[in-house]
A and B are shown apart, each in its own frame.
Chain A
Amino acid sequence: MTRSAWWRRFLVRGVFWRQLLRFAILNVPPWIEPIIMAFWAAFFLLWGPGRRGVMRNLQVIKPGSTSLANFFRCYRVFWNYAWTIADNVRFKELRTIPDWEFVGWNHFQSMQASSGAILLTAHMGSYDLGAHLFSETSTRRIVMVRAPEEDPETRRFEEHHGAEGLRIEFNTRATELALDLLETVREGAIVAIQGDRVVGPISTFPATFFGRPSTVPAGPFALAMAARVPIYPVFVVRAGRRRYRLVTSRPIEITRSRNRDDDFARAVAQWMTELEAVVRGYWYQWFTFEPAWPEVSA
């Protein structure tokens, strides 16, 4: 191992923190856990780029808020993130499931009954845990599409410690993946994609988010149109210690007309309305550590 590779494992996205989290899940008594969470959430406030990213986003979500207030809000985001990733690892390692509340059950049921669907979600709550729950309780096959871990060692660690019964595809090989996913949806599976931010060189659609120009990944909308399936906005929200709420909204149907741009624009607008309402209500669980609106000054 080279010297540069040695210290990379201790960077914020390095494998060391994943290993430490797994160790903690297998060793920390639950009656000490809240203190440990509070400590480590405070420790990760030292991660400057992440902290600044969250605080910049909060400036837009909560206009007129002060930097001091946003600093404490940022701590709340980190606190919720710590619990969320801990619950996710706890499920993978110990099969411990949290309490679940379902809101929009009729939409959730219609998604399960559909012959193929797109599950569009955001970097909120525990999307991993939600997908695992879905794969355990549903007869439908679920395929998760996500951005790969930046660090190769972290990627290998996550692959090794992944949950069974859940297929994960990475959005790095765009063309092959699109065809593969199209076939998967047509076979009746559900494809889960995060549609709140653009990571890497992927095609996008313009959108308006909190009144400002933004972009969203084009993939889910194009896939839904090609496969002629609905898009279900689903959000997994942390409602307390080991308690989650799965919110399913009314489906987004992409109707085909002569003007495809308008068809996509309508669908994107509906998605942004749903996303904005959820992010406004649960800003402390929107785990976007990069500035969502880069033009907003620090």
Chain B
Amino acid sequence: MNVIADHPEARWLPSRHRFAVGKLIAFAKLRGTTQSVNSAERLIFPIDRDQTAAEMNGVAIWIFVTTVCYIAAALPLIWPAAIIVAIPIAAIVLQFPTVIIGPIVRMLIGDGNHIKIISVIAMSLLVIASSYVAASNSWARYAAWFFFAVLILNGAAAVVVWLLRAPIRAAEERCAR
């Protein structure tokens, strides 16, 4: 794994972000940062796509809220009660892709890192669920529309990131020097 030492601005390297929207925001921050201040005397930043807390926590909250809405809409309760009941159910349901598909994948291809394949399957299941809810008359359809809006926004950001790939690489190399 590559690391960058003693450059506080390296926390904004687009390579340290997974999603295109995150990469774009990071690129804007990296360009705007001249010299970050940090109380630490030395720093080590690994270059890893899943390293950024704000991005991963933000996506986790968004996915959780979306799942809570879908489950609450399916429960035969008034919506405040349904949301309260849906919170623990959603926390359990979101583990299904891992606990159900994980062992199957492990059986098929052996022990090892299956994060990528389970990530794709989990996101595909969310897209299927969102398609169903988006087409319904439930109040949760707004959450499903928002889900697709975010996917479209990330897709558009991916195009921009691809167009800006040369300046992004240059900015990253400048930071690493």
List chain A positions with a Cβ less than 8 A from chain B: 23-24, 26-36, 38-39, 93-106, 240-243, 245
Q: Which of B112, B113, B115 has the most CB of A within 10 A?
A: B115
Our pick among A26, A35, A101 for the contact of B113 (Cβ within 8 Å) is A26
B84: Cβ under 8 A from any A Cβ = no
Give Cα A31 to B53, complex, Å.
10
Segment of B73-81, B92-100, B134-142, B162-170 engaged in the interface with chain A: B92-100
A36 pairs with B95, CB closer than 8 A: yes
Min CB distance, B161 to chain A, in Å?
18
Number of A-B residue pairs, CB cutoff 8 Å, is 104
Give Cα A23 to B60, complex, Å.
20
Our pick among A35, A93, A101, A240 for the contact of B63 (Cβ within 8 Å) is A35
Our pick among B43, B56, B98, B115 for the contact of A100 (Cβ within 8 Å) is B43
B40 pairs with A245, CB closer than 8 A: yes
A101 pairs with B60, CB closer than 8 A: no
Our pick among B53, B61, B95, B105 for the contact of A240 (Cβ within 8 Å) is B53
Pairs across A and B, CB under 8 Å, 26 listed: A26-B111, A26-B113, A26-B114, A27-B106, A29-B98, A29-B118, A30-B18, A30-B115, A32-B98, A34-B61, A35-B63, A36-B95, A94-B113, A96-B46, A97-B44, A99-B44, A99-B51, A100-B44, A102-B40, A102-B42, A103-B41, A104-B41, A105-B41, A240-B53, A242-B50, A242-B51
Task: Please judge, given known A-B contacts A32-B63, A100-B43, whether A39 and B91 are in contact too, CB under 8 Å.
Answer: yes
A32 pairs with B41, CB closer than 8 A: no
**Contact residues in A for B57 (Cβ distance below 8 Å):** 34, 241
Mask of B118-145 contacts with A, CB within 8 angstroms, 1/0: 1100100000000000000000000000
**Contact residues in A for B118 (Cβ distance below 8 Å):** 27-29
How many of B's residues come within 8 Å of A, CB to CB?
41
B64: Cβ under 8 A from any A Cβ = yes
Q: Which of B18, B41, B61, B118 has the most CB of A within 10 A?
A: B41
B1 pairs with A28, CB closer than 8 A: no
Chain B residue at minimal CB-CB distance from A30 = B50
Q: Which 6 A-B pairs have the closest CB atoms?
A: A101-B40, A241-B53, A29-B119, A27-B102, A105-B41, A34-B60
Give Cα A30 to B41, complex, Å.
29
List chain B positions with a Cβ less than 8 A from chain A: 1, 3, 11, 18, 38-46, 48, 50-51, 53, 56-57, 59-61, 63-64, 91-92, 94-95, 97-98, 102, 105-106, 111-115, 118-119, 122
Our pick among B56, B105, B111, B119 for the contact of A34 (Cβ within 8 Å) is B56
**Contact residues in A for B40 (Cβ distance below 8 Å):** 101-103, 245
**Contact residues in B for A243 (Cβ distance below 8 Å):** 53
**Contact residues in B for A34 (Cβ distance below 8 Å):** 56-57, 60-61
B98 pairs with A27, CB closer than 8 A: yes
**Contact residues in B for A240 (Cβ distance below 8 Å):** 53
Min CB distance, A105 to chain B, in Å?
4
B94 pairs with A35, CB closer than 8 A: yes
B43 pairs with A99, CB closer than 8 A: yes
B98 pairs with A28, CB closer than 8 A: yes
**Contact residues in A for B3 (Cβ distance below 8 Å):** 97
Given A35-B64, A99-B45, 11 more A-B residue pairs with CB atoms under 8 Å apart are A28-B98, A30-B18, A36-B94, A39-B92, A39-B95, A96-B46, A99-B43, A102-B42, A103-B39, A104-B41, A245-B40
